């Protein structure tokens, strides 16, 4: 049985690694196809000699069986909205391919070979974001994939939208000739939502690492106490994610001469004599509670990864073909509730992450809160220049949009298909909205990390040298894409450049 992880998705979707079939993979698929061919000759099998959905009550004549599969693909190619970009589309193909390689779907080996050819030749199917209700599978989106495999519609090659027939001819690839139940097999599964979810999680885990870095750097530049992320404080809270985040923060600030030990305050006899302390005894929550906020976010992503990897390695269509049991089982493995629920949870925690970053940004913008930097990190003339005042609006607005998008999709089933699909998952909608929240969160992060670098430039002489090596590394990386702001200049291009860098570059120190 083929087994893949998110690490494999990263290799095939991001790095475009060649997909090489195991020696016995096609033999297992062929065995399943041969069994189904023989088994269905004298039986009524859904999707082979019947119509689909509410039309399953109608038997299809033998001479029309091939047309049935093509009609299904063409009629359901009704998606709309933005097409998935290459990374997401490749992930969808890998998800569908690996589902078939479990050899429980009864598809022909031609389907496997065509999917592998698309992946290895860099042919990107045109799959639209809108169309799936997430039960009976991602029928609409996967129909567009099927449409491309049979040589119809449009694909992307080198980023250019081109007629599929022309691209296949150029690459000496014959259009897929569908057999038996290939059409139904292609579209009757959760691979679109799963492919999107897999990429979402890969990006989201990168984003968490940037949030740890930003939070640690903020602690440094304001000379915060170290006990909020100490081992001793976080060990008494029995949550794995919290303890991991605290450890990562400790690792990040290693070597910093700006982070203060609580012991300094304990031994400060001068401070002890005061009735009002000059410096804050405890930081604001957005600085002090980072492990407690990012911890559950990390735990949620870890569990979501487990669910997505389970779905990647599952057979998620209908019916299920089992040569070992000499039978075909009808049911609902195409139902996307597992992915839908996890993407709702991912969306919620990413919104919380963007809220934390926006509050940390606000702390830097407000001199009355941080007590160290000029208002809006303004390095110019106060009143005449505006510093980061304008970019804060963008971060706040984008965070507010995340909050508006965070309502559950999982609970919004709408019966359809003549009430045959009377309760559905809306899993792809959930994954697509999580994708939007993810994009927004990277935008907020881009602005925040730029502001932190601006704060570093505004440190007192000699203080930059007291930063941790990791903070210096991040500062150097961001300064390759966005410069210190003194005079008022448009910031959109700098934000976009930082966004592209932190999103598409695996986190590194």
Q: Write out the catalytic residue numbers.
A: 46
Helix (H) or strand (E) holding 48: none
The HSE-up count of residue 169 (CA atoms within 13 Å, CB side) is 6
Residue 107: exposure state from Cβ atoms within 10 A (0-12, 13-18, ≥19): buried
Q: What sign does the dihedral 53-54-59-64 (CA atoms) show?
A: negative
Residue 290: exposure state from Cβ atoms within 10 A (0-12, 13-18, ≥19): buried
Residues in the chain: 509
How many helices and strands, by DSSP H and E, does the chain display?
Answer: 21, 7
For 446-479, the DSSP string reads: HHHHHHHHHHHHTSPTTTGGGS-HHHHHHHHHHT
Q: Which runs of E-coded beta strand occur in 16-135?
A: 80-83, 124-125, 128-130
- From CA 33, how far away is CA 158, in angstroms rounded? 34
- From CA 233, how far away is CA 494, in angstroms rounded? 38
Query: Which residues lie across from 157 on neighbouring strands?
Result: 160
- From CA 139, how far away is CA 461, in angstroms rounded? 61
- Angstrom distances, CA of residue 356 to CA of 53, 344, 402: 46, 19, 12
Identify the CA nearest to 115 among candidates 123, 127, 126, 104: 123
Q: Which two tokens stand for residue 133?
A: 């209700």
Coil, strand or helix: which one is 413?
coil
143: Cβ contacts below 8 Å, ≥ 6 apart: 72, 73, 74, 75, 76, 77, 78, 79, 186, 187
Phi and psi, residue 334, nearest 5°: -80, -5
Neighbouring CB atoms inside 10 A of 37's CB total 15
Q: Which two tokens stand for residue 329?
A: 């089982």
Orientation of helix 337-365 relative to helix 427-457, angle to 10°: 20
Identify the CA nearest to 301 among candidates 215, 401, 200, 213: 200
- From CA 210, how far away is CA 445, in angstroms rounded? 8
Asked whether 455 and 377 are in contact (CB, 8 A), the reply is yes
């Amino acid at each position: 049985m083929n087994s893949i992880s998110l690490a494999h998705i990263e290799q095939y979707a991001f790095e475009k690694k060649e997909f090489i079939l195991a020696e016995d993979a096609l033999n297992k698929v062929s065995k399943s196809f041969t069994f189904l061919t023989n088994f269905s000759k004298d039986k009524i099998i859904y999707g082979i000699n019947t119509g689909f959905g509410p039309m399953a009550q109608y038997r299809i004549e033998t001479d029309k069986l091939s047309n049935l599969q093509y009609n299904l693909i063409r009629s359901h190619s009704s998606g709309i909205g933005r097409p998935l970009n290459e990374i997401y589309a490749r992930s969808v193909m890998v998800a569908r391919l690996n589902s078939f390689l479990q050899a429980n779907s009864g598809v022909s080996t031609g389907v496997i070979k065509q999917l592998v050819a698309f992946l290895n030749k860099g042919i990107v199917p045109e799959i639209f974001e809108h169309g799936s209700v997430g039960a009976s599978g991602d029928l609409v989106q996967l129909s567009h994939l099927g449409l491309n495999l049979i040589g119809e519609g449009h694909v992307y090659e080198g980023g250019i939208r081109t007629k599929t027939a022309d691209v296949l001819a150029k690459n000496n690839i014959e259009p897929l000739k569908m057999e038996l139940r290939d059409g139904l097999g292609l579209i009757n599964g959760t691979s679109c939502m799963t492919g999107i979810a897999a990429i979402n999680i890969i990006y989201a885990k990168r984003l968490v690492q940037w949030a740890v870095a930003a939070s640690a750097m903020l602690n440094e530049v304001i000379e915060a106490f170290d006990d909020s992320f100490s081992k001793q404080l976080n060990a008494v809270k029995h949550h794995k994610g919290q303890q991991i985040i605290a450890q990562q923060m400790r690792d990040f600030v290693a070597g910093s001469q700006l982070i203060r030990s609580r012991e300094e305050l304990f031994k400060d006899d001068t401070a002890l004599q005061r009735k009002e302390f000059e410096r804050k005894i405890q930081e604001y929550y957005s600085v002090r509670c980072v492990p407690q906020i990012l911890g559950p976010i990390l735990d949620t992503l870890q569990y979501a990864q487990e669910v997505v990897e389970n779905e990647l390695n599952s057979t998620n269509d209908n019916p299920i073909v089992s040569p070992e049991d000499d039978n075909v089982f009808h049911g609902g493995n195409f139902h996307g509730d597992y992915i839908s629920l996890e993407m709702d949870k991912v969306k919620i925690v990413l919104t919380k992450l963007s809220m934390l970053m926006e509050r940390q940004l606000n702390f830097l913008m407000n001199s009355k809160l941080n007590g160290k930097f000029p208002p809006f990190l303004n390095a110019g003339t106060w009143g005449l220049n505006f510093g980061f005042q304008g970019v804060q609006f963008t971060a706040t607005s984008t965070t507010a949009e995340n909050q508006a998008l965070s309502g559950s999709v999982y609970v919004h089933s709408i019966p359809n298909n003549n009430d045959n699909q009377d309760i559905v998952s809306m899993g792809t909608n959930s994954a697509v909205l999580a994708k939007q929240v993810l994009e927004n969160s990277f935008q907020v992060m881009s602005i925040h990390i730029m502001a932190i670098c601006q704060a570093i430039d505004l440190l007192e002489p000699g203080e930059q040298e007291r930063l941790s090596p990791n903070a210096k590394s991040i500062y150097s990386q961001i300064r390759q894409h966005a410069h210190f702001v003194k005079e008022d200049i448009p910031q959109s291009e700098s934000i976009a450049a930082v966004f592209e860098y932190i999103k598409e570059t695996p986190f590194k120190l």
